[in-house]
């Protein structure tokens, strides 16, 4: 069996089949389609294992666009992450290098041209779903405080992104009730009026599954989708997971706000700014859910907007 065939065995067939459906346009960067990248993946993995002197020690785990293979280098456990080129992950190496392991997984080596990262080993079996939600929110808030460093140049700007998304919502009649669209657009205008809203390096996707147990620190963030922006934009992902624990009726509103209150306090953020940016972030998520034909996602986000209003 060749090295490439060995590498192919590290990647679940279902992942390669799924990623083949992605188009180059969905990546929003100059790069291969999902089908082209899937065909190249075994050879790409084999080359990386050789070039970085890595020994695979198990099959790869996968997400939507990436495979992470447990490896050893000089006897030390590491994780080799290889991702299909897409906009949200384009600057992951830059962000991890900028954080230098403070609050986030440590970057050992990177080859952005091949979408490859060699990372310190964290425990993939233990994320923040394994602790009670109040503790999880406090942990995330603490990590956000650690990750709060000035943004390096070249990142996408939250101010530009938020305005673009608000314009799309305004142009997409019927996605959200009109009053919600008007409120989101008004908040974007107010929140981005000051250029300082693009000052901080953001993770933007720090939900419970993107925090893993480590050895040098109890919990560390993984998989950033970097942007330069305002820190209060960071908390909304805490509302997208463990939804069943939010309950219903008046409990729903209370528990939505409780998550933000706990995380915001741990991060040292202003409560009103957290509510405002979370409203904007949720409206954006609703627009994306509608574009994907995800009616359950739209319903959830409308419920969240109601809970965040007033």
Strands 55-56 and 66-73: antiparallel
| Token code pair at residue 20 | 């083949």
Helix, strand and coil percent figures for the chain, each rounded to 5? 55, 15, 30
Residues sharing a CB contact under 8 Å with residue 95, sequence separation 6 or more, in sequence order = 104, 201, 203, 224, 226
Instruction: Round to whole Å and give the CA distance between 252 and 168.
Output: 28
Compute φ and ψ for 34, nearest 5 degrees.
-60, -40
Assigned token pair, 90: 């384009």
The active-site residue, picked from 6, 51, 167, 205, is 205
Q: Are strands 76-83 and 66-73 parallel, antiparallel or unpaired?
A: antiparallel
The tokens describing 303, both together, are 């419920």
Phi and psi, residue 181, nearest 5°: -65, -45
Strand partners, 109: 118
Residue whose C-alpha is closest to residue 106's, from 84, 79, 129, 130: 79
Query: What's the angle, vertex CA 87, arms to CA 81 and CA 88, rounded to 5?
Result: 65
CB 82 within 8 A of CB 52: no
Q: Does the annotation count 190 as an active-site position? A: no
Catalytic residues: 205
């Amino acid at each position: 069996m060749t090295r490439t065939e060995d590498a192919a065995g590290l990647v679940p067939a279902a992942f390669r089949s799924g990623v083949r459906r992605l188009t180059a346009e969905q990546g929003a960067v100059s790069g291969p389609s999902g089908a082209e990248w899937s065909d190249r993946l075994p050879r790409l993995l084999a080359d990386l294992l050789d070039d970085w002197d890595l020994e695979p020690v198990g099959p790869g785990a996968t997400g939507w666009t990436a495979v992470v293979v447990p490896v050893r280098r000089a006897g030390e456990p590491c994780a080799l992450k290889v991702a299909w080129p897409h906009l949200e992950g384009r600057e992951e190496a830059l962000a991890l290098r900028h954080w230098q392991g403070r609050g986030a997984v440590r970057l050992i080596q990177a080859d952005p041209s091949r979408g490859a990262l060699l990372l310190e080993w964290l425990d993939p079996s233990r994320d923040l779903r394994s602790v009670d939600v109040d503790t999880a929110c406090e942990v995330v808030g603490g990590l956000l405080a650690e990750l709060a460093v000035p943004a390096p140049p070249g990142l996408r700007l939250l101010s530009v992104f938020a305005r673009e998304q608000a314009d799309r919502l305004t142009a997409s009649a019927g996605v959200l009730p009109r009053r919600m669209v008007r409120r989101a657009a008004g908040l974007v205008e107010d929140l981005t009026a000051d250029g300082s809203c693009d000052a901080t390096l953001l993770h933007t996707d720090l939900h419970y599954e993107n925090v893993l147990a480590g050895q040098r620190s109890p919990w560390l963030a993984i998989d950033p989708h970097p942007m330069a922006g305002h820190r209060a934009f960071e908390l909304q992902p805490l509302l997208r997971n463990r939804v069943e624990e939010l309950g219903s009726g008046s409990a729903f509103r209370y528990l939505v706000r409780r998550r933000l209150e706990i995380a915001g306090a741990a991060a040292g953020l202003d409560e009103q700014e957290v509510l405002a940016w979370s409203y904007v972030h949720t409206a954006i998520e609703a627009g994306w859910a509608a574009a994907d034909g995800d009616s359950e996602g739209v319903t959830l986000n409308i419920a969240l907007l109601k809970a965040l209003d007033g």
